[in-house]
Amino acid sequence: MRTARRIAELAPYLFAELDRKVAAARTRGVDIISFGVGDPDLPTPPHVVEALVQAARDPATHRYPSYTGMPAFREAIAGFYERRFGVSLDPDGAIQPLVGSKEGIFHLPLAFVDPGDVALVPDPSYPVYPTATRLAGGEVVAMPLRADNGFFPDLDALAPEVLERAKVLWLNYPNNPTAATVTLDHLRAAVELCARHDILLCHDAAYTEITFDGYVAPSVLQVPGALEHAVEFHSLSKTYNMTGWRIGWVAGAPEAIEAIKRLKTNVDSGIFDAVQVAGIAALQGPQDHLEETVAHYRRRRDLLCDGLKSLGVVVEPPRGSIYVWAPVPGGHTSESYATFLLERCGIVVAPGTGYGAAGEGFVRFSLTLDDARLEEGVERMRGVAD
C-alpha cells in the first residue's frame, strides 16, 4: 500500500511524539512529570457541565446540527467580543463556530492558499500553521521570532517579492510557545501591512484570557480596518478548561468567513448542539472561575520561574499564556536537553525545535500540572544540576 506523498512527507505531530515517549517511559516504570502538552488540569466550570447534561437529554439535540452553528451560540460569541474588546460583530456574517480552533486553523489554508502561494508563518509557532499550509500545497516562509524583538516578527524585513506572493500571515498572542505578549500597536502594524499587500491576517487568540500582572491582551479585531483584512481564532479550551469538548470559532472579515463556511459545509457536519448549548453557558454564565484559573497559573508560573532562576536559568516570567519558554543550559541543544530531562529526571518538556528551527536553544514548559508535582519537577532538575 502506498500513501499519498503529502502523508509520506508529513512529519510526526510534536505532541503525538511526546505522548509516545511518555507512554514508553511509563512502561519502563518511570514516574513521569509532564510539562509537555498544554492541557489544563483544572475542571470545566460546573454550570457548563450541567448545561451539557441537560441539553444532551433533549432529543432535539440528537440530530444533525447546523453547518454554521446555532444562532444563539454565534450571538453569545458576538456578545463576548462586545463585552471584552468593544468590538461589534455580525453574528450571521462575521462568526463561524468550529470543532475546536485547531480544526479551523488547519482548514483555513485550503480556503485561501493555492499551490505555490506563500503563507507567512512565525518561527517558532504552533505546528499546525506550517503543516496545514504544506498540505494545501502552499509554501511556508518563516518569520523568525527573536528575543531581542520581543518574539514578534520583524515585518519590515519581509522581502517585497515574498509579500507579493503571500496570501496569509499568521500571528498568535499571547504566544505559543514563547509566551510573548504584544500591544495593540503591534497588531495594528500587522493589519496595515496586510491591507497594503492584500494578505489575510490570521490571529490565533487562544490565550487572551490567561494573562498576569495587569496585562490585558488585545484582539486584532480592535484595530480599525481589521474587519476587512483579518480573522481571529478563539477557543473555549483554555479559558473554560474545555480542551476535550472541541468547540471554538473564527471571527472577522465576512468575505473570509464566507469562504470558511463554504469549505466546512463540504468537510464536516458541525458541532453537537448540546456542546454548543454548553458553550453558550460558558460565554454568558458566571465568569468567576476565570480569576481562580488565572491565579493558579500565576502561582505556577512564579514557582517554576523562581525554581529555574535558582538553577541559573535566565527566564523572564511571562505576562500571558500557560507556558514558560526557557533557554537550555550550555552544551545542550533543545532536543538533547529534553532527552536529558526525560532520561535523568523523568521530566517531559517540549523541545523548541518542535515548533520550528528558530526554537533551537529553548524548551517549553507547560503550567498544566498541580503545584506539588511542579515543585517536585524543579527539585528533580536541581538534583541533576548539583
CATH T-level fold of 5-43+288-385: Aspartate Aminotransferase, domain 1 (3.90.1150)
Distance CA 257, CA 251 (A): 7
Enter the C-alpha cell of residue 9.
512527507
pLDDT at 386 over 60: no
- Please give the share of the chain, as a percent, with pLDDT higher than 70: 99
pLDDT, position 12: 73
Span 283-310, pLDDT tens digits: 999 999 999 999 999 999 999 999 999 9
Closest to 64 (Cα-Cα) out of 267, 274, 269, 276: 269
Give this prediction's pTM: 0.95
Span 308-357, pLDDT tens digits: 999 999 999 999 999 999 999 999 999 999 999 998 999 999 999 999 99
pLDDT at 191 over 90: yes
Q: What is the mean pLDDT of the chain?
A: 95
Angle between helices 334-345 and 371-385 (to 10 degrees): 100
Average the pLDDT over 53-57 and give the result. Answer: 98
Span 262-274, pLDDT tens digits: 999 999 999 999 9
175 vs 18, which has greater pLDDT?
175
pLDDT, position 10: 76
Enter the C-alpha cell of residue 128.
499546525
Phi/psi of residue 98, nearest 5 degrees:
-130, 155
Enter the C-alpha cell of residue 33.
512529570
Least confident of 3-7, 145-149, 168-172: 3-7
Q: Place 15 in a pLDDT band, splitting at 50, 70 and 90.
A: low
Other Cβ atoms closer than 10 A to 258: 14
3-class secondary structure, 362: strand
- Beta bridge partners, 366, equal 323
Enter the C-alpha cell of residue 72.
444563539
Span 19-50, pLDDT tens digits: 787 788 888 888 999 998 899 999 999 999 99
pLDDT at 207 over 60: yes
Which element (helix H / strand E) includes 95? Answer: strand 95-98
Span 102-131, pLDDT tens digits: 999 999 999 999 999 999 999 999 999 999
Cα 222 to Cα 59, 92, 201, 303: the distances in Å are: 40, 19, 13, 34
CA-based torsion, 119, 124, 127, 131: positive or negative: positive
Q: Is 2 left (phi over 0), alpha (psi -120 to 50) or beta?
A: beta
Any idea where the domains of the chain sit in the sequence?
5-43+288-385, 63-284
3-class secondary structure, 215: coil
Architecture of domain 63-284: 3-Layer(aba) Sandwich (3.40)
pLDDT, position 2: 81
Antiparallel, parallel or unpaired: β 362-366 and 323-327: antiparallel
Span 223-273, pLDDT tens digits: 999 999 999 999 999 999 999 999 999 999 999 999 999 999 999 999 999
